[in-house]
Structure 1
Amino acid sequence: MKKLITCLLTALGLTTACGQGNFENADVEAFAKLITEKGVVTLDVRSAEEYAEGHIAGALLIDQNQDDFMEKAKAMLQKEKTIAVYCRSGRRSANAAGLLAAEGYKCVNLKGGIRAWKEAGKAVITDAYEVDAFQTKSGKTVRFHALMHSCIRIEFDGKEIEIDPVAKLGNRTIDYGTMPKADYIFVTHEHGDHYDASTIRLLSTEKTQLIMNKRCAEMFGAGKAMSNGQTEVIDGIKVEAVPAYNTSEGRTQFHPKGRDNGYILTIDGLRVYIAGDTEDIPEMSAIKDIDVAFLPCNQPYTMTTEQLVKAAKTIKPKVLFPYHYGQTDVTTIPSQLASEGIDVRIRHYE
């Protein structure tokens, strides 16, 4: 009788799933409120094609129809988090929520799926790039767009910030011509997967501020050259150029000490560490109070997964994005850092 009454209830907010009993359902309004809360991961279980057509901002993608769904989920999702899961209509996500709940995850399923979400007038991201939003100390929003590899687009207070913009890598491309012109462009070093003069020119206006390492400034013939240890304040954004280099035997020629930059940007109190191409160097012990960190992971050029985990434990960012990872399997990193309280987010920085 109790189960029958529970299934018949349609109260506002969350209700227990009929026939499942191990996860909850939420209507659109309750789901929208839930995904803004700390400790909640939004999970899209549709196909990559459906995801690209429109998804909820910040949603992680794991295709429920793939054979390795649970394997990926266990590697990428932390049981300490609440998993807010959705699909097209609510059926696949209900199945996924049941599977996850059976493994000890706390799950909430969006009733009606993204169809109900759209019908309610809620926003979706319609491009293929994943977007993560953070609030600054004064309540402003900073948005990070996962473009590819080392390429990051940042939006803040009407300003556009581009990190290592490169239009083409192998068979992958970014159409920067469809994006706003940049107010600030940061380049870590001169390798072709980080420095692309034609894309810099495409994104630039006469007001664009270019911040580079010394070699890139020389190659481009313009821009502010910053060296390791140098700090500047540019239009209210504090910029710290920090070391980025290889230490392992046989790798030091890739990124020699003293040449390349990583950057720490303090944007209205939000501290963002963009490591560039580096291993887990001793200087990382001095990097403190990081809200968002981007750490590279593609041996032999940057870090192994073991080095990245060590670096993350040293820096202790609140949120970590492994990036620049190429063919390296980074799906095990979240579980390795689960006990550290670090929110690890796997995005398509391949």
Structure 2
Amino acid sequence: MRMLLLTLAAAAALTAQTHPTADFKTSAGPLRLTVIKHASFMLEAGGQVVHVDPTSPGNYTGLPQADLILVTDIHGDHNDPKALAAVRKSSAKVIAPKAVAEKLEGTQVLANGETTKVGAWTIEAVPMYNLQRGPAEGKLFHDKGRGNGYIVTYGGFRLYISGDTEGIPEMRALKNIDLALVCMNLPYTMTPEEAADAVKAFKPKVAIPYHYRESDLSLFEKGLAGSGVQVKLLDWYK
């Protein structure tokens, strides 16, 4: 029995080491963000677990299953039914835009501008889309209204999840954001410089780049120098 407990403890410690985390204070107690992979991450607060964009490249070994799952878009690095099923409790609620819900049974549709409440979590769907970049002339990688960014509120703490987007007017107009997870990578979203410029417009307290692949994050940091926004870098590609 002692050996089993030691083995389980070692496994838990190894899992913790392979998943970077960041902790934040809210009026309802601590909130932890755990990095999984690329655009996939987990939130924990008040004994509840939220998984965002669970995908198969992520390592979910030792991580708790979800009470709530948020999906941002139809692309495979965000919408992976197999990974979602693996992390989903039977009682878990899944929230996604209509384009995802059409292919994912048992999903609550949330459109841009709509808000819902799940337990202590308030979820607001906000736009995410390309302004100019696309696979061909006249086409965009992400059309307006198809996917969701999200503002997740817990204990008064407001977390913005950009989803795949450029520095759109709706992002620049955000207010009272405590933590912003902001995408960047070409050709699908935006450059680090463009991301920094957009973040400066709405001034979250903390900004964490994600979905960045091989982007030069020093350019994001440089773009926000002196802005009053704290940039926190986490490794999303371990």
Aligned with 1:207: secondary structure? strand
CA distance in 2, matches of 1:136, 1:237: 12
Is this contact kept in 1: 2:184–2:215, CA < 8 A?
Answer: yes
Matched, 1:246 2:135: no
Aligned-pair Cα RMSD in Å? 1.8
Aligned length: 223
Match of 2:38 among 149, 163, 173: 149
- Structure 1 residue runs of 4 or more that deviate by more than 4 Å after TM superposition: 123-126
Q: In the TM superposition, what are the counterparts of 1:1-350 in structure 2 within 5 Å?
A: 126-138=16-28, 140-168=29-57, 174-250=58-134, 252-350=139-237
Query: Would the alpha carbon gap of residues 132 and 249 (structure 1) be closer, same or farther in structure 2, given more than 3 Å must change?
Result: closer
CA-to-aligned-CA distance 1:86-127 (integer Å, 9 cap, x gap):
xxxxxxxxxxxxxxxxxxxxxxxxxxxxxxxxxxxxx99842
Is this contact kept in 2: 1:154–1:161, CA < 8 A?
Answer: yes
Query: Would the alpha carbon gap of residues 126 and 150 (structure 1) be closer, same or farther in structure 2, given more than 3 Å must change?
Result: closer
CA distance in 2, matches of 1:250, 1:166: 23
**AA aligned opposite 1:217:** A
TM-score, length-scaled by structure 2: 0.88
TM-score, length-scaled by structure 1: 0.61
Query: Would the alpha carbon gap of residues 150 and 319 (structure 1) be closer, same or farther in structure 2, given more than 3 Å must change?
Result: same
Q: Looking at CA atoms only, which structure, 1 or 2, has the larger radius of gyration?
A: 1
CA distance in 2, matches of 1:320, 1:285: 14
Q: % of aligned pairs identical?
A: 38
**AA aligned opposite 1:130:** P
CA distance in 2, matches of 1:223, 1:250: 28
How far is the alpha carbon of 1:146 from its aligned partner? 1.5
Please list every run of 5 or more consecutive structure 1 residues that lacks an aligned counterpart in the other structure. Answer: 1-52, 54-122, 169-173
Aligned with 1:133: secondary structure? strand
CA distance in 2, matches of 1:336, 1:343: 12
Q: Which has the higher contact order (CA 8 A, sep 6+)?
A: 2
